[in-house]
Structure 1
């Protein structure tokens, strides 16, 4: 097992109300970026189901300079229906699933809640389009 000390939360930057799969995101990352796999370790669908992405024992490709020692979680959504405007589009099911997944991973890896971040804390992006610090590090 690789050492893990933080969790970084992302959105898929896709329009609200539309479903996307791990396979589609993997395709974007492999074909569009030339990566060997999907960048995230977990993807949360709009119905709240949690799906495995990149193997948890492999370093992710989700946050420049922060991939070693981190777990990347992505929820499907993050843009308004126009496909351009950042927006917290998480469904209630996604919020509940994200909370449960973060809790489980923090316990499993001994991660302090202060080590749960949004992608926007490491890059000039809106992603994940909600205040991770307010929701998870309080």
Structure 2
């Protein structure tokens, strides 16, 4: 497996009471635009964490994402490299009007485990919230401040994305 440069944390940008599995993400991301999908050739999320905290693999380890595919390297301070995207189900208020930290305790525990696993596996990996990436700065996603959360977990500063 290739070295992973970035772990990007995001939400599914859905209401706090919605819960679903990877099949919904795969269909939404790869379905035709005519049918309400994005029309992409592959999903934009590698791992999904439903509300029960389970970890569902959408794109396996042998197929990481080159960040340019997702427009992350654009902008004033573009970044390039290999990224893994992990999303928790939620991230919006009930009526999806505003961003909100809707993570369940189970989702938080799984996110923490994944972050710590990737740091052990790739000691120089950089962890970022989706909205911290320069090309995605206007996004509300993931609904919480990733850098602040990482510091609460006592993640080393060199692993935390700097804007």
Same fold (TM over 0.5): yes
> Which of 77, 92, 95 matches 1:79?
92
User: Are the counterparts in 2 of residues 8 and 71 from structure 1 also a CA contact under 8 Å?
Assistant: yes
Give yes or no for the alignment of 1:97 onto 2:110.
yes
User: 1:98 Cα shift?
Assistant: 0.4
User: Are the counterparts in 2 of residues 44 and 97 from structure 1 also a CA contact under 8 Å?
Assistant: yes
1:90-133 CA distance string (max 9 Å, x none): 00110111001111111112234xx1100001111011010001
Partner residue, 1:69:
82
User: Normalised by the size of structure 1, how large is the TM-score?
Assistant: 0.89
Give the 3 Å change call, closer, same or farther, for CA 78–117 of structure 1 in structure 2.
same
CA–CA distance in structure 2, aligned partners of residues 18 and 52 of structure 1: 19
When Rg is computed on C-alpha atoms for both structures, the one with the higher figure is 2
1:22-49 CA distance string (max 9 Å, x none): 0101100001222222211111110011
Where do 5+ consecutive residues of structure 1 fail to align?
none
User: 1:63 Cα shift?
Assistant: 4.4
Partner residue, 1:53:
58
Where do 5+ consecutive residues of structure 2 fail to align?
32-36, 74-79, 155-163
User: Normalised by the size of structure 2, how large is the TM-score?
Assistant: 0.76
Q: How does 1:1-138 map to 2 (within 5 A)?
A: 1-31=1-31, 32-60=37-65, 63-66=70-73, 68-112=81-125, 115-122=126-133, 123=136, 124-137=138-151
Give the 3 Å change call, closer, same or farther, for CA 106–129 of structure 1 in structure 2.
same
User: 1:86 Cα shift?
Assistant: 0.8
RMSD between superposed Cα atoms in Å: 1.8
User: Are the counterparts in 1 of residues 5 and 81 from structure 2 also a CA contact under 8 Å?
Assistant: no
Deviates more, 1:61-70 or 1:92-101: 61-70
CA–CA distance in structure 1, aligned partners of residues 118 and 70 of structure 2: 18
User: Are the counterparts in 2 of residues 5 and 69 from structure 1 also a CA contact under 8 Å?
Assistant: yes
Give the 3 Å change call, closer, same or farther, for CA 29–68 of structure 1 in structure 2.
farther
Equivalent pairs counted in the alignment come to 136
